[in-house]
Amino acid sequence: MELAPVWINPYTIEKSRTGGVIARLLSLCPHELVAARMFCPSRELVEKYARLIEGKGSAESKVIREQIRNYILENWVEKKGARNKARVMLLLFKGENAIADLRQHVVGPIKRKSILGETVRDTYGDYIKDSQGRVRYFEPAVLIVPESGEAEKTLKLWARYSDRDGGVLTKACHFSGSRPPEMTLVLIKPESFRGRSSRAGNVIDVLSRAGLRIIGAKVVHMSINQARNFYRPVVAALVERLKPRAIAQIRPLLQSEFDFEIPERVFECIGDNLKRPYAQAEFNQIITTMTGLEPGKVTEQKLRNRPGPEKCLALIYQGPNAVAKIRSVLGATDPTKADWATIRRIYGHSIMDNVAHASDSPENAGREIKILKMHDNQFKTVVNEFYRSKQ
């Protein structure tokens, strides 16, 4: 079993290629995505990382490593006078032979003879030489650990700096104009992570139309209590929304049983009595969908606080009017009522299977970020626990 990191480069992020890269990674990689974290790497971290990757392997490999070393020293640290800091997204995969699989079948080599569009670097990377064989342009799109033996030292290094250099990067980006930037949370729901699928990455790709910046990322396994707290505000809306649906379902059944016209006030009374248990049943279904656990069957408090088997990817976006922009691109809760070209119209199937959640106000964004513990260092925990178990 191995941990295999993938670093999405600042240029890839700035060019809004993040979603396309993630789509390729998740659809091609047979291994589990176990952690995600945003970084603004300090020069100290980058220089130590550069020393880990230089001067190893064959003569050709040493040349490539030297180019990577120069690339990160030039592009992964804050440039003097720059308004925006370099942002790196680190994704962590876990599985047997994960490092070799990522290198050979998912990310692909930096230097290649053909471009088939199969791997990440086929589409998003460049390695261009002039007629004398000198490298004219070099953009690897993402970086990986090339050999299994290098993973532990590299990941432990990044884990040591992950509190200081990583997390929710609230001060990484500059935004012009007088309006202060907002933060909003997007939660890509579990149906996008059941099996190998490009959907989560495609969703991020469409979200890039909002013109915002990703400043936080985390893989989330919600507990029952966490999901109940997260979705608590929807209960009141469910109660009122489900009353007409309850009446619509009960009306033909009652009318078929009686040979007289049932007064409307009777249906109103039935609707008032059914709406709350109906809403509770729907709410429980939301909890089950998000956690993979049935709340009625898990009664012990300790177990209700335990992370469920279902996986989500939580992202924090920042920018002016961020909440409204994201919700506009996401579309209406019911995919059949969402505007054309919105995420839910393209990828959603029902109100339950509607791809993603987005905060409806800056205040709720703050509440949801807190509930999901977006400031916690999940990456460091995963790395430390994995290598501790190997001792």
Give the bridge partners for 358, in sequence order. Answer: 186
CB contact at 8 A, 87 and 172: yes
Nearest-angstrom CA–CA distance, 91 and 19? 13
Tokens of 247: 């009446």
Spatial CB neighbours of 263, under 8 Å, sequence gap ≥ 6: none
Sign for the pseudo-dihedral over CA of 77, 78, 82, 87: positive
Q: Cα 16 from chain centroid?
A: 14
What are the CA-CA distances from residue 50 to residues 7, 26, 70, 156, 213 (Å)?
Answer: 14, 27, 8, 14, 27
Burial pattern 135-156, b for ≥16 Cβ within 10 A else e, equals eeebbbbbbbbbeeeebbebbe
d(CA 84, CA 73): 17
Cβ neighbours of residue 174 under 8 Å, at least 6 residues apart? 83, 84
Strands 135-139 and 126-129: antiparallel
Which is the catalytic residue, given 31, 221, 349, 357?
A: 357
Find the radius of gyration of the CA atoms of the chain. 24
Distance CA 391, CA 379 (A): 19
Per the annotation, the verdict on 357 as an active-site residue is yes
- Catalytic residue positions? 357
